[in-house]
Structure 1
Amino acid sequence: MPELRQSIAQHYHERTKYDPQTIASKSKGLNWSKQPVPFKEYKIGSTFDLRPYIQEKAEAFVDKPDAQWWHRLSRLLFCSYGLTAKMPSMGNTVYLRAAPSAGGLYPAEMYVVSRGTALLPPGVYNYQCRTHSLIACWESDAWQKLQEACLWHPTLQKTQLGIIITAVFYRSAWRYEDRAYRRIFLDTGHLLGNIELAGAMTQYRPHLIGGFVDEAVNELLYIDSQQEGAIAVIPLADLLDIKQNILTGPTALPSATETNYPDIPDGKLLKYFHDCTQIPPGTTGKLTSPEVKQEKSLEDKYNFPFCEKISTVSQPIQWGEKLDGLEVTILKRRSTRAYSGDDLTFDELKALLDFSYQPQHYVDQGFDHSTDYFDLNLIETFIAVSGVEGVEAGCYYYAPKAQQLRQIRFKNFRKELHFLCLGQELGRDAAAVVFHTADLKSAVAQYGDRVYRYLHMDAGHLGQRLNLAAIRLGLGVSGIGGFFDDKVNEVLGIPADEVVLYMTTLGRPR
C-alpha cells in the first residue's frame, strides 16, 4: 500500500530546514534598496493621540473615568507593541518595540476594532507605534462582520474591543525568504505574550481566537491579501465591567489538510502555504475544537526509563506592587548579544520555568490563572544545560505537569550548540538553551495545516515569557529561529518525531 503523501505543512517544514551541506549555496546577499519599511502609513483618518495617557501615572486619572479608560488602553497597546527605543543603523534609524522580532523586521500589524463605546466610535483603527496613536482606517460597524468571520465565537458577544493581528509577509521574507513564515508566527507569539501580560496590568482579559474565516477578516480590514493577512483575533474583556467577566472559548480550530499540491518554486512557497492554511468562506459556526484539546492529558508526554528526575518546584518571581515591575521589565527588555559563559544558579533556572509554565502560581500577584494558548498540549520542551550550578551538563526533557527535569543525554554540548545555532556564539556561551518542539504529523492530524500557525505562535508566546522572566532576574536571553533542524534532534537526543520550532538561549550577559 503506497505511503500517504505529506501534508503541505510537513512539506513546507522539510523544504525550509537549514542543512549544513546546503545552507551556503542557498544564502543570498540582501538587496538593501528593497528593505521593507516596518510600519503602515495612512494619509487620512481621524487620529486618537494616546501619548498623554502613557506619560502620567494611573493616580492622575482617579477622578476622571474617561481619561482612566484611555490610560488603560494606551498602556496596554504601548506595553504590547509600543516603540521603546531608536537606534542608528547604516545611516537609517531602527525602531525597537516592546515585543522582539527577528532581524528587527516587525512583520505584525495591530488593529483595534471597536464595537462602539462612549469614547471610541465603532470602526477599525490601526495602531501607529511611532506616534503612539490610533488612526481610524474604516469608520463603520465592523463588529458584526468580525463575529461572522469568527463563526460567532462566544467571547465576541459581550466584549466591546478587540485586536486583530496581521502579518505583512514581505517584511520578513525580504531577509528570510520562504522560512520567514516560521519567523512571522514566532514574532506574533512574542506579541501575544505581551498582550496577555499587559492585559493583567490594565484589567483586560485577552481571549485568543485562531479559528476564523481569513478572507472575511481581511476584507473587514480592507487589506490586500497578497501582501498581508490576518493571523490572530483577540477580544479584550474589560474586567472592570462585570458583564465582560466571561468564560473562555475555543482558541484553535482546524483547517483542511492539503496533500494535492504542485511543485512549488522557491520564493513562492510561503504564500502558497499560507493560502492552504486558511479557513474558507462558507464554513459554518458548528466548527468546534477537537476533543483531544478538551480532554487534557494529566501526564507529561515523555517519561524516559531510568532517567534522573529533578524537581523544578520554585518560589514565584515577584513582579512588584500592581505589577509595576512587569511594566518596567517589558519596556527595558532587549535581546542579549553576547554571554559571558558564566553559570546560572539552579534556582534561577527553576524560576524561569515556573513563570513560563505555571501561571497558576501567579494568581495572587494579579495574573490570570490560565493563559490562553492555541493548544499547549502540542508543545514539548527540552533544555540543553551547559552551565547551571548543581545540575549535570546534558539534555533534559522538561515535564511541566510533574514540574521535573528528566535527563535524556549526558554531555556538555557547548561546542555542538555553537554549530547547531549556525555558528552563533550565543549558543556556545549560553548557560542553558531551551528548545520548543512538536510532533508535526500528529498535530496536523488534529488541526490540519493551520496548526503550523498555532505551533509557532504558542512557541513564541512561551519564549516571550522566558524573555521577560530572565530580564526580571537580571539575566541575559535571546531567541534563535535559525538552526540546523535535523541536527538538533540528532545531537541532543530529542526524539525524531519532534520537529524543532524555536530556541531560547539563557545566560549571564557579557
Structure 2
Amino acid sequence: MPEIHQSIAQHYHERTKYDPDTLASKSQRLDWAKQPVPFKEYKIGSDYDLKPYLQQQPESFANNPDAKWWQRLSQLLFHSYGLTAKMPSMGSAVYLRSAPSAGGLYPAEVYLLSRGTPLLPAGLYNYQCRTHSLMQYWEDDVWQALQAACFWHPTLENTQLAIITTAVFYRSVWRYEDRAYRRIFLDTGHLLGNIELAGAITDYRPHLIGGFVDEAVNDLLYIDPEQEGATVVIALADVLDVKQNLPLGKTALPSTIHTSYPSIPDGELLRYFHFHTQIQSGISYQNLTTIKIENTLEDKYNFPFCDKLSTITTPIHWGGNLSELENTIYKRRSTRAYSGVNLTFDELKMLLDFTYQPQNYIDQNLDNSPDYFDLSLIETFIAVSGVKGLDSGCYYYAPKAQELRQIRFKNFRRELHFLCLGQELGRDAGAVIFHTADLKTALAQYGDRVYRYLHLDAGHLGQRLNLAAIRLNIGVSGIGGFFDDQVNDVLGIPADEAVLYISTLGRPR
C-alpha cells in the first residue's frame, strides 16, 4: 500500500522512475500490430482548407483582408503543429511535425474554438495536420461554456478564438506504459513553445490557461475521457484588434492533494493519476487577473566558493519579420548522433539567452514575457563535457543573475552515457541540460495538478532550446528516459530535485 503521507503525484513519480536494477525486467517487446495512428479522423463535418494560405506574401492577398486573416491562422497552426517531413519507416512512413514528440508518437491533438467571426462560424474545429485543414465537427455557440469551464478567465472575455490541446493517452502508453504521462506533457510543452513563437510571427498573443474544469472541457469537445483528456486551454488574442489586448490572467490554478488511494496496478496508474489531478466543478476562484511583477528574489542555489561565469551575450538574430524563426521551426529535427567535437562557451551562452531571457528579444517583436505556468519552480543544471572555454563539470544556471555556478569538477561522459539509458547522445554531447523541480514545494503551492504544469514548462523551455540550437547549427535532442535517482547522485544535485527533462547538445555527426 502507498505511504499515507505521499501524495498521488509523488507516488506516481516514484513508481515511474527508471532504475538500472529493474528496468530490464520491466521492458517488453512492442506489439506493432497495435501501434497507434497519430491522427484523428472525422466521418462528417465541414472542411476548411488552409493550404492555399501558406505562402509568405502572395500578391493576391495584398488588398484582401479576408485572405490575410486566413493566412495568419494558417501559418499559426502550421508553425505550431504542422507536418514538415515524411520519413520512411519499416515499410511505411512517419510524418514529422514542427514540434518534437517522444518516439514520434504525437499524443497531442489541437482543437480550435471559434466564438463566431465573419470568416469562421461559431463551433468546434479539429486541426487536421495531414491535410493542413480545419474540420468543423460541431457548429454551435460554445464560447460561454468554455468561459464557465475556465472560471470566467479574463483573457476569454474579448478574444474570438481559443486553442485546446488534448492528449490521446494510448498513443504514448503503447510504448512508454505508465511513464507516458511525463512524456505526454513534455510533448505538449514543446507544442506550447511553438504556439508562443508562431503567435509572434502571425500577430497573435497566446494566453495559457491551465486551471479549468476538466470534465466540462472534455464534454465541450465531445471526447471520451477514458481515451483522451484536455491538457491546456489557450485564449488566442488577435494583437491587431485593440479590444483583444487584454490584461494577463493566472495561468495555473491549484487542485487538491490526494494522499488516500488504493494500491494501483501497473497499467492503470496513468489514468488514475490523470483523473486525480483534475479540477472539479463547484470550486470558486477569485481574481484571476494577474499583473506580472519582476521577481527580485535571488536564484535558488547560490553555492559558496563556486566559480561564477556570466552568460550575458549578444541575442540570436531571427531575421527580418522573424523569417529565420519560421525557417528554423520548419527545418527543426532531433539530432540522432553527435561527433564529440566541442561546442563553444559563446554558443552555450546564446542558447541559454534565448531560452531563459525573452526580454532580450523585444526589439525583434517577440514576446518579452511569454506565459508559463510557474517558471519559479523549475531549476536548470548543466553537465559540461565538451565546451571550449568551460571546465568540465556540473553547473547550476542562475537565470536572474544570468550566470553559471560550477558545483562539481569532473568530466561526466561515461556517467551520462549510463544515465541516459546507454544512449550515445548522452556520452557524445558537449553539454547536457537537466530541468528539475522540488516536487514537495511545488505540491504545496498547486496540489497534484502541478505535475502537469512542471512538465509543460520543462517542455516549453526545451522547445525554445531546440529552436535556438537549430538556428546556430548545433545538434539537439531531448531525452525523457533516464535513471532518475542516479542523475542526482552523479551530478551532486539535491535529492529533493525531481528530474523532469534532459536536453542534449552537441555537434551533429
Does the aligned pair in 2 maintain the 1:58–1:71 contact within 8 Å? Answer: no
Per the alignment, residue 315 of structure 1 pairs with 314
**Structure 1 counterpart of 2:104, which letter?**
G
Partner of 1:229: 229
Per-residue deviation, 1:92: 1.5
In the comparison of the two structures, how many residue pairs are matched?
A: 507
State TM-score, norm by structure 1. 0.98
The question of 1:260 aligning with 2:228 is answered no
Following the alignment from structure 2 to structure 1, what is the Cα–Cα distance between the partners of residues 364 and 498? 35
What residue is the counterpart of 1:301 in the other structure? 300
2:362 matched residue in structure 1: 363
Separation in structure 2 between the aligned mates of residue 121 and residue 486 of structure 1, nearest angstrom:
51
Q: Match of 1:208, SS?
A: strand
Whether the 8 Å CA contact 1:253–1:290 is kept in 2: the answer is no
Partner of 1:54: 54
Aligned to 2:119: 119
Corresponding letter in the other structure for 1:252: A
Q: State the SS of the aligned residue for 1:446.
A: helix
- 1:439-458 map, 5 Å: 439-458=438-457
Distance 2:4 2:205 in 1: 42
CA distance in 2, matches of 1:315, 1:264: 51
Q: CA deviation at 1:211?
A: 0.2
The answer on whether the counterparts of 1:375 and 1:454 sit within 8 Å (CA) in structure 2 is yes
Displacement of 1:87 in angstroms is 1.0
1:461 paired residue number: 460
Matching of residues 73-152 of structure 1 within 5 Å: 73-152=73-152
Aligned 8 A contact 1:253 1:287 in 2: no
Cα deviation, 1:178-235, whole Å, max 9, x if unaligned, reads 0000000000000000000000000000000000000000000000000000000011
Give the residue type in structure 2 aligned to 1:471: I
1:475 is matched with 474
Q: Please show how residues 401-440 of structure 1 align to structure 2 within 5 Å.
A: 401-440=400-439
Contact conserved, 1:386 with 1:430, CA < 8 A, in 2? yes
- 1:206 maps to amino acid: P
The 1:146/1:58 distance shift into structure 2, 3 A limit, reads: farther
The C-alpha deviation readout for 1:277-313, integer Å capped at 9, x for no partner, is 000122224375999x978452100000000000000
Letter in 2 for 1:279: I
Q: How far 1:245 moved relative to its partner?
A: 1.2
Counterpart position of 1:38 = 38
Cα distance per residue 1:138-171 (max 9 Å; x no partner): 1110100000000000000010001000000000
Structure 2 unaligned regions, length at least 5: none
Any idea what SS the aligned residue of 2:28 has? coil
- 3-state DSSP of counterpart to 1:218: helix
TM-score calculated relative to the size of structure 2: 0.98
| Structure-1 residue corresponding to 2:241 | 241
Report the Cα distance in structure 1 between the residues aligned to 2:464 and 2:439, rounded to whole angstroms. 23
For 1:243 and 1:93, locate their aligned partners in 2 and report how far apart those are by CA, in whole Å.
Answer: 45
RMSD: 1.4
SS in structure 2 of the partner of residue 42 of structure 1: coil
Query: Secondary structure of 1:450's partner?
Result: helix
1:380 aligned partner, one-letter code: E
**Structure 2 residue identity aligned to 1:422:** L
Q: Following the alignment from structure 2 to structure 1, what is the Cα–Cα distance between the partners of residues 29 and 4?
A: 38
Query: Which region of structure 1 is more displaced relative to structure 2, 50-59 or 371-380?
Result: 50-59
Please, which runs of 5 or more residues in structure 1 have no aligned partner? none
Partner of 1:176: 176
Q: Deviations over 1:471-507 (max 9, x none)?
A: 0001100000000000000000111110000000001
Q: Which residue of 1 aligns with 2:276?
A: 276
Q: Which amino acid aligns with 2:350?
A: A
The aligned counterpart of 1:506 is 505
Q: Which residue of 2 aligns with 1:153?
A: 153
What's the secondary structure of 2:267's corresponding residue? coil
Cα shift readout 1:81-114 (whole Å, capped 9, x = no counterpart): 0011111111111110000000000000000000
For 1:237-294, what per-residue CA distance to the aligned partner results, in whole angstroms no more than 9, with x for missing partners?
1011011111210000000000001000000000000000000122224375999x97
How far apart are residue 55 of structure 1 and its match? Answer: 3.2
